[in-house]
């Protein structure tokens, strides 16, 4: 599978400008990639102005994602500010070219910025199926919590809370082990070392590919971002890292090599059995 990460500056709280900007960046990728990963809150930046910026699921951003996926022939994913049932969510959409999608609401809200005061946390893990890959999407602060990211051992079916399956609109998302983890983020530069270290840790402990997509520049709150978006293999080694500048990079990942690695080093089967609550 060809995986593309897109690191960019964002126009603060300007959804139309950001959609147009990303459309220009995605257009040359048509037929050249299978999955495009955009940052967290890619239409607005990491804003707490949810009441003014939130969109419904039938709003322009989800429609735009469907259009971009169809044009490129690739799945497109990233999170945006969504409103549903009078609540606000930091919601990731995994959009396929045929218009089916899965969704994931950010579980761990960043209390340091007051995110929990404006947004409702998700309570469901998903694994999205795409091109024979099992893909687990997560959002920013989720990266700090390895239990929520944990790849289930073959014997461990009880590590997920009841009701965790979230089929979105496609009916394809499931819980369980994953081959590829996606972390979309607005992760400040002053904690960049944490970002880089934790991305590698999640890859090593889960024996899975990891892609982390961050932003660069300065947001409306004055926070600086240096990016360090990366694609990391199942042993924790980076294929690519984009630092300090905008950029898009495509890497081809091998599911066969992942499976061979897990067979040679079957560490997952020795994992602890536990129950999330």
Bridge partners (DSSP) listed for residue 225: 217
The average confidence (pLDDT) of the chain is 92
Q: Does 174 qualify as catalytic in the annotation?
A: no
> From CA 179, how far away is CA 160, in angstroms rounded?
17
Q: Look at residue 167 and tell me if it is in a domain.
A: yes
- Say whether pLDDT at 167 is over 50: no
Distance of CA 75 to the CA centre of its chain: 12
Q: Look at residue 161 and tell me if it is in a domain.
A: yes
Rg (CA), the chain: 17
User: Would you list the DSSP string of 207-258?
Assistant: TSEEEEE-BEEE-TT--EEEEEEEEE-TTS-EEEEEESS-EEEEEE--HHHH
Q: Look at residue 98 and tell me if it is in a domain.
A: yes
Sign (positive/negative) of CA torsion 159, 161, 162, 165? negative
**pTM assigned to the model:** 0.93
> From CA 167, how far away is CA 275, in angstroms rounded?
21
Instruction: Please give the pLDDT value at position 106.
Output: 98
Catalytic-role residue among 13, 82, 106, 115: 106
Q: Look at residue 277 and tell me if it is in a domain.
A: no
Lookup result for tokens 């609401």? 105
CA angle (185 as vertex; 207, 46 as ends), nearest 5: 160
Q: Look at residue 144 and tell me if it is in a domain.
A: yes
Could you list the residue range(s) of the whole structural domain that residue 23 is in?
Answer: 2-270
Q: Are 188 and 117 in contact (CB under 8 A)?
A: no
- Tens digit of pLDDT for each residue in 189-220? 999 999 999 999 999 999 999 999 999 999 99
Give the CA distances from residue 30 to residues 25, 54, 58, in Å, rounded to whole numbers and listed in that order. Answer: 10, 29, 24
Q: Does 140 qualify as catalytic in the annotation?
A: yes
Instruction: Please give the pLDDT value at position 186.
Output: 98
Q: What is the CATH number of the domain that holds 220?
A: 3.60.110.10
Q: Look at residue 276 and tell me if it is in a domain.
A: no
Q: At 271, is the pLDDT very low, low, confident or very high (cuts 50, 70, 90)?
A: confident
Lookup result for tokens 């520049």? 217
Q: Are 196 and 203 in contact (CB under 8 A)?
A: no
Q: Look at residue 46 and tell me if it is in a domain.
A: yes
Q: Look at residue 275 and tell me if it is in a domain.
A: no
- Say whether pLDDT at 165 is over 70: no
- Tens digit of pLDDT for each residue in 64-82? 999 999 999 999 999 999 9
Catalytic-role residue among 40, 55, 82, 124: 40
Catalytic-role residue among 82, 115, 124, 140: 140
How many beta carbons lie within 10 A of that of residue 16, not counting itself?
12
CA angle (149 as vertex; 166, 106 as ends), nearest 5: 55
- Tens digit of pLDDT for each residue in 112-134? 999 999 999 999 999 999 999 99
- Say whether pLDDT at 277 is over 80: no
Q: Does 218 qualify as catalytic in the annotation?
A: no
What's the total number of domains in the chain? 1
């Amino acid at each position: 599978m060809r995986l593309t990460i897109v690191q960019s500056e964002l126009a603060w709280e300007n959804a139309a400008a950001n959609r147009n900007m990303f459309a220009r960046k995605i257009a040359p990728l048509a037929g050249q990639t299978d999955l495009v990963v955009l940052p967290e809150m890619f239409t607005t930046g990491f804003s707490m102005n949810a009441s003014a910026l939130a969109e419904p699921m039938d709003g322009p951003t989800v429609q735009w994602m469907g259009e971009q996926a169809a044009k490129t022939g690739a799945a497109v994913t990233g999170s945006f500010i969504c409103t549903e049932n009078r609540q606000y969510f930091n919601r990731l959409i995994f959009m396929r070219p045929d218009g089916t999608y899965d969704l994931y609401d950010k579980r761990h809200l960043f209390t340091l910025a007051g995110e929990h005061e404006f947004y409702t946390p998700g309570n469901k893990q998903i694994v999205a199926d795409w091109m024979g890959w099992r893909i687990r999407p997560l959002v920013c602060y989720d990266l700090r919590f390895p239990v929520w990211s944990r790849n289930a051992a073959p014997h461990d079916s009880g590590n997920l809370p009841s009701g965790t399956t979230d089929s979105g609109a496609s009916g394809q998302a499931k819980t369980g082990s994953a081959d590829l983890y996606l972390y979309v983020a607005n992760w400040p530069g002053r904690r960049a070392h944490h970002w880089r270290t934790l991305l590698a840790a999640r890859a090593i402990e889960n024996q899975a590919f990891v892609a982390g997509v961050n932003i660069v520049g300065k947001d409306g709150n004055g926070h600086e971002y240096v990016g360090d978006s990366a694609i990391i293999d199942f042993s924790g080694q980076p294929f690519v890292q984009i630092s300090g500048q905008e950029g898009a990079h495509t890497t081809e990942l091998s599911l066969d090599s992942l499976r061979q690695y897990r067979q040679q080093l079957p560490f997952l089967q020795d994992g602890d059995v536990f129950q999330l609550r």
